[in-house]
Amino acid sequence: MNAFSRIISGTMTWGEWGSKFTIKEMELLLEKTVEIGINTFDHADIYGGYTTEAAFGTAFKNSSVRRESVFFISKCGIQMPCNKRPLPVKHYNYSEEHIRLSVENSLRHLNTEYLDVLLLHRPSPLMHAETIAKVTQELKKEGKIRQLGVSNFTPSQMQLLQQEVRLEWNQLECSLTHEVGLFDGTLDHMKNHTIGAMAWSPLGSYFKENGAKKERISKCMSSLCEKYDCTEDQLLLAWLLYHPSTIYPVVGTTSAKRLVLSKKALDITLEITDWFILLEASMGEPLP
């Protein structure tokens, strides 16, 4: 066991921010997810108002899943006012003390001795690269984190940190309906510096928002879904998977059936013209 599954299971809506699963329901979904071949789980300390990690961790402890058969990703840095933390304002904290406390909390909540990946959740205008490098390198030496990455960082923000510490991942918003990272240099920078790409919200706004963009994409979808014998969500994932950056979609569904369908997107190889037909439909005009 030495590789993340290409489809990553996002846990943001497993708890209070979505399905409100019981511990038993989480346990069953966790076991089913691993059974179908998805071995990587994406967390963040803030999910469920700082409650989902602990619920998932209890479910994991109760489950038949072995730690060495799965990979856990978590994020830190966002300080969000909520019942668990009655803060005066939402802010970001990348002090040595806060990063260490967040990691220790995640380890305890998830019932694990290490995180496979720690991501800095969002860039802060006040972050000190030297401080982040110092504490994360210490955490690596202690065996508490294995890889370090970021989330939602621009090329210049990644470069700031890269002067002091190696970055192995960036989790960015990327999809057919949010294709900015394909053109603004983010994925180019990551490819040049061997920074892996994870994509949150990989289905974009297609199932969430109506409007001209969705109408344009929908017109293409019918014939393409028939051509590739797939569903719309599989086609959207296949479009993302086609990119040469080897993007790992973080799929946020809490349905085991939809996770099975998501994994089947790995078997779809689009023709290059179909990839660009979808891109043009999303953008609303031909490429320059």
Check if 206 is active-site: no
Residue-wise pLDDT tens digits, 116-156: 999 999 999 999 999 999 999 999 999 999 999 999 999 99
With residues binned 3-state (H G I as helix, E B as strand, rest as coil), the percentages for the chain, rounded to 5, are: 45, 15, 40
Residue-wise pLDDT tens digits, 164-189: 999 999 999 999 999 999 999 999 99
Number of domains observed in the structure of the chain: 1
On whether residue 94 sits in a domain, the answer given is yes
Domain hosting residue 136, numbered range = 8-167
Position 279 scores a pLDDT of: 98
Residue-wise pLDDT tens digits, 86-100: 999 999 999 999 999
Position 87 scores a pLDDT of: 97
Residue-wise pLDDT tens digits, 47-95: 999 999 999 999 999 999 999 999 999 999 999 999 999 999 999 999 9
The CATH number assigned to the domain holding 53 equals 3.20.20.100
The residue annotated as part of the active site, out of 47, 94, 206, 228, is 47
Residue-wise pLDDT tens digits, 232-254: 999 999 999 999 999 999 999 99
Residue-wise pLDDT tens digits, 252-267: 999 999 999 999 999 9
Q: 2 falls in which pLDDT band (50, 70, 90)?
A: low
Distance CA 75, CA 118 (A): 6
On whether residue 253 sits in a domain, the answer given is no
Helix pair angle (232-241, 212-228), 10° resolution: 90
On whether residue 175 sits in a domain, the answer given is no
On whether residue 205 sits in a domain, the answer given is no
Mean pLDDT taken over the chain: 97
pTM for the model stands at: 0.97
Q: Exposed/middle/buried for 21, CB within 10 Å: 0-12, 13-18, 19+?
A: buried
Residue-wise pLDDT tens digits, 12-50: 999 999 999 999 999 999 999 999 999 999 999 999 999
Q: Would you put residue 193 in left (φ > 0), alpha (ψ -120 to 50) or beta?
A: alpha
On whether residue 227 sits in a domain, the answer given is no
Using alpha carbons, list the distances in angstroms from residue 166 to 91, 163, 170, 195, 247.
25, 8, 12, 9, 19
On whether residue 232 sits in a domain, the answer given is no
On whether residue 104 sits in a domain, the answer given is yes
Q: Is the pLDDT of residue 1 over 50?
A: no
